[in-house]
Structure 1
Amino acid sequence: MHKRSWSKIAVMGAGLLALAACGDAAEDAAPPPGGIAADGSPALPAVPVMGPERKIIAFGDSLFAGYGLDPRDSYPEKLENALRAKGVNADVINAGVSGDTTAAGLNRLEFTLEAQDAPPALFILELGGNDLLRGVSPEETRSNLEKMLTILKEREVPVLLMGMRSPPNVGPEYQARFDAMYRELAEEYGAALIPFWLEDIYRDPALFQSDRIHPTAEGIERLVASTLGDVEEALPPPPAS
């Protein structure tokens, strides 16, 4: 809040009477407990963060790393803020590496898991976009994802799989094989799924940076809003104390 500076009141009498008369009205017009939202409507009171810390690993490529953005505007950072605003004691670790393919992700997966003090409550897996850009076959991409999901399942780590969608210019056969892959893998390995996690923004060029690949800060906000419910649903309840 900004501190207000008040000038000295030179004339008291009538001014004091007027202020006294306005007192009740000022109390009636007092801001609600949660303050005022950006659109001028009453904001909901903040929900206190409660319960044990829930560690979430956001494992992906530049779309998680926050390419071209302030680190505070990355998807994992904004997701953590959104979860905590809803009272979830979340610690979202940004394990996004720009340029990573599924093969590169597979190479660093176990190191990432072993670097944690305890298994994460949820592992968000977002890879495949760079495979598309490099023309990696859907069979190779699928194989790498299968190996990652196998490791995570063996370690009993819950997974939310962030699906991608191939563009039509790759050809109908490639597109069909690639697009079906995420749903099939989620069903096979018991992972939660967002079929195409850029669904809410991909039709709006204004929500992407000039490269037309990476979301702007506003685009990230939209993605967090559209996927928050899926993340909450995929996050298992905390263990009973």
Structure 2
Amino acid sequence: MEADGLVPQLQVWLNRHEAGVTVVNGGVSGDTTAGGAARIDWSLSPDIGAVMIALGGNDMLRGLAPSEAKSNLTKIVAAVQGAGLPVLLIGMQAPGNYGAEYKAEFEGLYAELAEDYGTLYEPQFLGALGQVPAEALVWMQSDGVHPNEEGVLRIVEALGPRVLELAEMAASKE
């Protein structure tokens, strides 16, 4: 159900913590970093106060070059910061089946961007689900790629404090 997704559940979590913010879903299911880069300029409407970037998983699933994802994410972060908005960059993990070099390059690009641009950074989107794939499977849908309702709740609990930090940064800029 849509209400069980990340954005609605994050909104519930933020409301419980009296954050006083509204989460706007700028994501598109199945999207890559290229899609996000193409949309970012018109997505930064006046009602947006901060941006959480959780893109790259579909790039990785398609085996796209990490350098391509990094270039696209760089465009997104630069556009958001160019609009004077704080950024929370969420890293993605690559499975080992792409090889150690791909995995290291893909996972490392997030930390590099966060450091280069001074963004808030959370290293692992799925980190709350377990450190090894076998641990995470219980929190995943049958496709083994997307978190189930309980998995989303665990992710929200893990990301929530970072999103609160992002909201506080946005409020201090007002």
TM-score normalised to structure 1 length? 0.67
State which of 27, 34, 41 in structure 2 corresponds to 1:110.
Answer: 41
Q: Does 1:161 align with 2:92?
A: no
State which of 173, 178, 187 in structure 1 corresponds to 2:115.
Answer: 187
Cα deviations across residues 56-107 of structure 1 (Å, max 9, x unaligned)? xxxxxxxxxxxxxx11111111111111111111211112211101011111
Contact 2:88-2:122 at 8 Å conserved across structures: yes
Over aligned residue pairs, what C-alpha RMSD do you find?
1.6
State which of 207, 210, 215 in structure 1 corresponds to 2:142.
Answer: 210
SS at match of 2:70: helix
Contact 1:102-1:128 at 8 Å conserved across structures: yes
State which of 74, 77, 86 in structure 1 corresponds to 2:8.
Answer: 77
Contact 1:122-1:157 at 8 Å conserved across structures: yes
- How many residues end up aligned between the 2 structures? 169
Contact 1:166-1:175 at 8 Å conserved across structures: yes
Corresponding residue of 1:25: none
Corresponding residue of 1:94: 25
Q: Which has the larger radius of gyration?
A: 1
Partner Cα distance (1:159, 1:176) in 2: 23
Cα deviations across residues 118-174 of structure 1 (Å, max 9, x unaligned)? 252220101111111111101111111111111111111111011001111111111
Q: Counting strand residues as a fraction of each chain, which structure ranks higher?
A: 1
Contact 1:119-1:157 at 8 Å conserved across structures: no
Q: Which of 202-211 and 148-157 deviates more?
A: 202-211
SS at match of 1:212: coil
By how many angstroms is 1:238 displaced? 2.4
Contact 2:85-2:170 at 8 Å conserved across structures: no
**Structure 1: gaps spanning 5 or more residues:** 1-69
Partner Cα distance (1:175, 1:205) in 2: 20
Q: 4+ runs of 1 displaced by more than 3 Å? A: none
TM-score normalised to structure 2 length? 0.91
> Comparing both chains, which one has the higher relative contact order based on Cα–Cα distances under 8 Å and sequence gaps of 6 or more?
2
SS at match of 1:180: helix
Partner Cα distance (2:110, 2:13) in 1: 26
C-alpha change, 1:134 and 1:232, in structure 2 (3 Å) is same
Contact 1:163-1:182 at 8 Å conserved across structures: yes
Corresponding residue of 2:171: 238
The equivalences for 1:34-183 within 5 A come to 70-113=1-44, 116=45, 118-183=46-111
Partner Cα distance (1:138, 1:176) in 2: 10
Identity %: 37
Q: Counting helix residues as a fraction of each chain, which structure ranks higher?
A: 2
